[in-house]
Amino acid sequence: MTLPEMTKSIYPSSLLKTQEVNTLLELYQSTGELRYAEAIFQKYYHLVYGMCLKYTEDKALAYDLSMEIFEKLIFILKTAKITAFKHWLFKVIQNECINSFRKKEQTRKAFDQWKKEFEKNIQSYVENEGFLRLINRGLSIEAQLEEAIHQLPETQRVCIELFYFEKKSYKAIAGQTGFSISHVKSYLQHGKKALKKILTDLNTNP
């Protein structure tokens, strides 16, 4: 079931049409019930997906990016002070699309650097049993990192992405997600440990 179908089943489309977004936002912020956030996203899904498609020019990538934006909205909408929702959402989508390109570019640069190191030290890499397993599995460094991050719990994944890829401060992450600064630091610390273990397992398990 897709997200639009899921939100329709949780929150009937007839009710979606009659509820103003400000009302849904107030309900979500006062109750914390996810169905209100889902209702808001369903109401503006066409805008989110349409803008993502414009930026990515790929339907599958646009859908994935739309889902990532929804996951972040779940946190952001809890405490956001919004006056003109559609304009605010437009800026959020725009920023997320730009950040998505930046993350891909940073990952690509890291991968290019790894390839250069590989070419310089090909003999030592070839002699490394763990590396040979990775080659046999067909996993690039880029794929490993993406796979590892997606295995993290959502709280850790969100903080890792905001801190390392989007260069957000602890305070900025706390403001965006609704986490306390101490929780942000904790999620980052545990997330880094979890990433190290996942990447180690990828390099050692056949």
Question: CA 177, 192, 93: angle at the middle one, nearest 5?
Answer: 35
Q: Contact 47/70 with Cβ under 8 angstroms? A: no
The 3-state DSSP class for residue 54 equals: helix
3-state secondary structure of 152: coil
CB atoms within 10 A of CB 47: 14
Asked if residue 168 lies in contact with residue 176, where contact means CB atoms within 8 angstroms, the answer is: yes
Q: How many CA atoms lie within 13 A of 25 on its CB side?
A: 17
Out of 1.10.10.10, 3.30.460.20, 1.20.210.10, 2.40.30.10, the CATH code matching 121-206 is: 1.10.10.10
Per-residue pLDDT of the chain (206 residues; tens, 9 = 90+): 444 444 444 444 455 455 788 888 888 889 988 888 888 888 888 889 988 888 888 888 888 889 988 988 888 898 888 888 888 888 888 888 887 777 776 656 655 555 555 445 444 444 444 444 444 444 455 566 777 788 888 888 888 888 877 778 899 898 888 889 899 999 988 988 888 787 777 655 54
| H helix or E strand, kind and range, residue 167 | none
* CATH architecture under which domain 1-100 falls: Orthogonal Bundle (1.10)
The answer to whether the 1-100 and 121-206 domains have the same CATH topology is no
Report d(CA 178, CA 51) in Å as an integer.
Answer: 26
Segments making up each domain of the chain, as ranges? 1-100, 121-206
